[in-house]
Amino acid sequence: MTAFFKHPVWAMAFRPFYSLAALYGALSILLWGFGYTGTPELRGFYWHAHEMIWGYAGLVVIAFLLTAVATWTGQPPTRGGVLVGLTAFWLAARIAVFIPGWGATASGILGTLFFWYGAVCMALPVIRSKNKRNYVAVFAIVVLGCTHAAFHFQLHAGNASALLSGLQSGLIMVSGFIGLIGMRIISFFTSKRLNVPQIPSPVWVAHASLWLPMLTAMLMAHHALPWLSSAFAFATGVIFTVQVYRWWYKAVLKEPMLWILFAGYLFTGLGLIAVGASYFHTPFLNLGVHLIGVGGIGVLTLGMMARTALGHTGNSIYPPPKSVPIAFWLMIAATVIRIIATFVSGTGYTHSIRTSAVLFALSLLLYAWKYIPWLIRPRADGKPG
């Protein structure tokens, strides 16, 4: 058993979580795109949205933060038996939902515990190092777990309108993590690669990029003050979009590892603007949800998984493997086609959904094919991690 815990795959959180996210994200999107109707307790659309928000995106968020916090604090990473336990919670939550009767409730409990367990794993190095800057990230993980719990509470109560708000709260909360991470890395990575000045962001902008989505998610989870949550979402979207403009250099277009981050951040900003505007024009909501879900989450998670996995496995980031830009363009194409699907109906809608799902899945499977061999082996440079 000791040898199992010491296997390279359990050295850092990104190793098992990126592997699982790529495979599960591809599987779940294909199931939805080609007519899977969900489980008796979590049907169709609800299953799809639940798994993409808290199953796929939530896993990548925890993977990135538990990997990054070791660098931010200088403390040992989450690894070994603790990481195995965290992985077990995620896997159990995915499996439990298929059990008739009590499976959805069990999945709700296990999935929420996954996020709260992840928050504890991040809190320990943050507290030990007195790294006050990252207290908010720990709190945000707790809130993400709370949005998951709130959704399952409404599922148990059978409140359909509140269920939709619950899904939106989880989606908006994930966009808050995009804000947190993007503010810290996009200009920094651009500066390092292009040898240009890093563009600092005002402190209030950095705080607003996480706190506004977090407040929006809290309001949506309680189905409260829709006008205020819409205003917060719109304001966050404007901030994200302006930041993309401030950070931009033309040379970014020559670097796939950079432009993918800009694209994901921009899609998220535009999606938040659309969600905010949906208070006045409801059809904008579907557009906004998929701008964030496919364009923001799909594009940015792929970009981050591609970049951080290379760095933390001791491989060169520049130039990236030849398959990586192909995977990026597949995800961009999936986004564009899914956006088009919001404006069509009938067979055009069905074909668009399926095409987008296939492109999304191919993008992740291409990542899995290239990266999983690195993720399950020791670092190429012989260093720990």
Which residues of the chain are modeled with pLDDT < 70? 1
Instruction: Give the chain's domain count.
Output: 1
pLDDT at 1: 61
- Tell me, what's the pLDDT at 44? 86
CATH number at 353 reads 1.20.210.10
Q: Does residue 329 form part of some domain?
A: yes
pLDDT (0 to 100) of residue 28: 96
Q: Nearest 5°: phi and psi at 43?
A: -85, 150
pLDDT for 4? 87
The pLDDT value recorded for residue 119 is 98
Task: Confirm whether 383 is domain-assigned.
Answer: no
236 within 8 A of 230, measured Cβ to Cβ: no
Residues in CB range of 207: below 8 A, 6 or more apart:
none
Report yes or no on 255 lying in a domain: yes
3-state SS assignment for residue 38:
strand
Contact 306, 327 (CB under 8 A): yes
- Quote the CA–CA distance of 375 and 320 in Å, as a whole number: 16
Cα–Cα distances in angstroms (integers) from residue 5 to residues 2, 78, 158, 194, 377, in the given order: 5, 12, 41, 40, 14
Provide the residue range defining the domain that includes 293.
Answer: 2-375
* Contacts of the segment 182-190: beta carbons below 8 A, 24+ positions apart: 182/209, 182/240, 182/243, 182/261, 182/265, 182/300, 183/209, 183/243, 185/261, 186/243, 186/247, 186/261, 186/262, 186/265, 187/247, 189/257, 189/258, 189/261, 189/307, 190/247, 190/249, 190/252, 190/258
Other beta carbons within 10 Å of 280: 9
Handedness of CA 185, 321, 51, 89 (dihedral sign): negative
Q: How far is residue 166's CA from residue 150's CA, in Å, rounded to a whole number?
A: 7
Buried b (16+ CB within 10 A) or exposed e, 90-103: bebbbebbeeeeeb
Q: What does the alpha-carbon distance between residue 272 and residue 198 come to, in Å, rounded to a whole number?
A: 25
Crossing angle for the helix pair 299-312 and 58-73, nearest 10 degrees?
40
Q: Which of these, 299, 205, 293, 303, lies nearest to 247 by C-alpha position? A: 205
Strand partners, 185: none
Tokens for 340, please give them: 């088009």
Decide if 81 is inside a domain: yes
Residue 6 in any domain: the answer is yes
Q: Is residue 292 part of a domain?
A: yes
Tokens of 39: 């489980």
Tell whether pTM > 0.85: yes
> What residues contact residue 44 under an 8 Å CB cut-off, 6+ apart?
36, 37, 38
Tokens of 155: 């599922």
Is residue 151 in a domain?
yes
**Inside any domain, residue 382:** no
pLDDT given at position 43: 87
